[in-house]
Amino acid sequence: MKIALISKPPSGKKKLRHDMSQIIDTLEAQQIECDLFETEYHAHALKIVEELPVSQYDALVAVGGDGTNYHVLNGLLKFHADKKLPIMGIIPVGRGNSFARDLNIHSIEDGLAAVLRQKPRAVDVCRFRQGDDTFYFVNLMGLGFVTDVAQTAAGFSWMGDLSYVVGVLHRTIGLKFHELELEIDGKHINGRNCFVEFCNSRYTGGSMLMAPGAEIDDGYFDVVILEPLSRWNLLKTFPKIFKGTHVNNPQVTVVRAKKAIVRTSPAKVLLPDGEIFGVTPAAIDILPQKIRYFT
């Protein structure tokens, strides 16, 4: 078996260098041939995969977080969709690692074990369009309050999951709503809105259970919609997201969908798989069991 490891460089951090060395040693000890490709700038993984002779590899493994996986996935589907797609894998060393949780991967050791088992699972991929261009995500894509929180949290990444708590508190102080036009499988939802999340998998921000009923291989994505609410109601509801019970709030609606079109006023920034990228309007649909991941 031959795999391409696509990783953020260790950047001089002793532990990360040790982790990467251990990853390669473990795989090669099991007669798995590894080629390591280290990114040099944000989104470089996309370019690496674009230029990769994917037919020479049995698998592409993202060594990083949700963002690294996002760029590897998009490189594969944007530039190699006409070929036999290799299996994908995740060895989590990033900050969020939300999608990996749905693969039952919670650590470097779990990611390595999944590769060594060589038992891939076919999972759904969500596709969204920006003008004439197309992009893909497997975790979730949000807009509104959730994107505002992520933008703030990015400045506190050294705090891990707590960075999202800081983001929530900061953005709640200046809480704002927007006008929403949402078409879900032909049905329309219009009105004031706090946030929308299009969820292929369950988690966001690491351990926050945004869509507790979502499944990564059922041919649907779950749309989580939060209507306007008071600051106190928002702060009271927020801790419940770690157990998924926030969906019991009357201001929260969850809809399963195959297609959606979203428009907002004003235009809102998008957040696919933790990447701050894109803007409304956007069209989203699902590609059932499009790609295989090691689990």
Quote the pLDDT of residue 164: 78
Quote the pLDDT of residue 10: 59
Quote the pLDDT of residue 18: 77
Q: For the domain made up of 2-124, give the CATH fold.
A: Rossmann fold (3.40.50)
Reported residue count of the chain is 295
Burial status of residue 91 (CB atoms within 10 A of its CB: 0-12, 13-18, 19 or more) = buried
**Per residue of the chain (295 residues), what is the pLDDT tens digit?**
999 999 987 555 666 677 888 999 999 999 999 999 999 999 999 999 999 999 999 999 999 999 999 999 999 999 999 989 999 999 998 677 899 999 999 999 999 999 999 999 999 999 999 888 999 999 999 999 999 998 898 888 778 767 878 888 899 999 999 999 999 999 999 999 999 999 999 999 888 899 999 999 999 999 999 999 999 999 999 999 999 999 999 999 999 999 999 999 999 999 999 899 999 999 999 999 999 999 9
Quote the pLDDT of residue 117: 96
- Domain boundaries of the chain, sorted by first residue: 2-124, 140-289
Residue 126 gets which letter from DSSP?
E
Quote the pLDDT of residue 213: 97
Quote the pLDDT of residue 103: 96
Candidates 30, 24, 71, 25; CA nearest to 52 is: 71
Q: For the domain made up of 140-289, give the CATH fold.
A: Tumour Suppressor Smad4 (2.60.200)
Rounded to two decimals, the pTM is 0.93
Q: Round to whole Å and give the CA distance between 116 and 110.
A: 10
